[in-house]
Amino acid sequence: MVTVSQVAKGQLLPLDDLVDKYGQDIKKVMDPDYLNAAKVSGKMYAVPTLRDMAGAPGINMRKDLVDKYHINVSNIKTLDDVESILKTIKENEQGVTPIVPFQPGAQPTVVYNWFDPLGDSMGVLPNYDNNLKVVDLYVQMNMGSL
């Protein structure tokens, strides 16, 4: 993260000339707003990463099981559709755990939130809309109203 104090102390050098010479494609593919976020006084001091926007939630499935059980992946639209597939695998494949989280301790469906976490998930925007009315996630879940 570029800070104004780092620039003021001379700890960073502008990258504009280098990007113009060697990174022309960066300017073609990146939204100008992202590039501008790394500028101080109109000069670029970093090239922002897209890692936070590049991930796509999804479920990886073993091809041999997809083929064996004739799973048409294009018909999977909801978590209920996934549930029926997991049930089939669990009932028919001895020793196979049908769903595994992406990292230890994580909830397997954590990427399928039905709310916008708004940063810390304390106050959330249900269904990514709710007429912009933020609610307390934990109170709403305990009341069963979400």
Residue environment code for 28-61, b if the CB has 16+ CB neighbours within 10 A, otherwise e = eebeeeebeebbbeeebbebbeeeeeeeeeeeee
Q: What percent of the chain has pLDDT over 70?
A: 79
On whether the pTM is more than 0.75, the answer is: no
Distances (CA, A) of 25 to 22, 28, 40, 104, 112: 8, 5, 21, 37, 33
pLDDT at 144 over 70: no
Residues 123 and 139 in one domain: yes
d(CA 142, CA 145): 8
Same domain? For 30 and 16 the reply is yes
DSSP 44-93: E------HHHH--------HHHHHHTT--GGG--SHHHHHHHHHHHHHHS
Claim to verify: residue 8 and residue 26 sit in the same structural domain: yes
Residue 108 covered by a domain? no
In this predicted model, what pLDDT tens digit does every residue of 28-45 receive, in sequence order?
988 888 888 889 999 999
* Contact in structure between 35 and 17 (CB atoms under 8 Å): no
**Shared-domain flag, residues 37 and 62:** no
Range of the domain at 141: 113-146
Could you tell me if 65 and 32 lie in one domain? no
Report yes or no on 88 lying in a domain: yes
In a domain, 76, yes or no: yes
Read off the pLDDT of residues 50-70 as tens digits, 9 standing for 90 and up: 766 655 567 788 999 999 999
Helices and strands in the chain: count of H runs, count of E runs: 8, 5
Report if residue 97 sits inside a domain.
Answer: yes
- Per the domain annotation, does 106 fall within a domain? no
Query: Both 15 and 49 in a single domain?
Result: yes
Number of domains forming the structure of the chain = 3
Structure tokens at 132: 């912009």
Q: Is residue 107 part of a domain?
A: no
Q: Quick one: 68 and 97 in the same domain? A: yes
**131 with 89, same domain?**
no
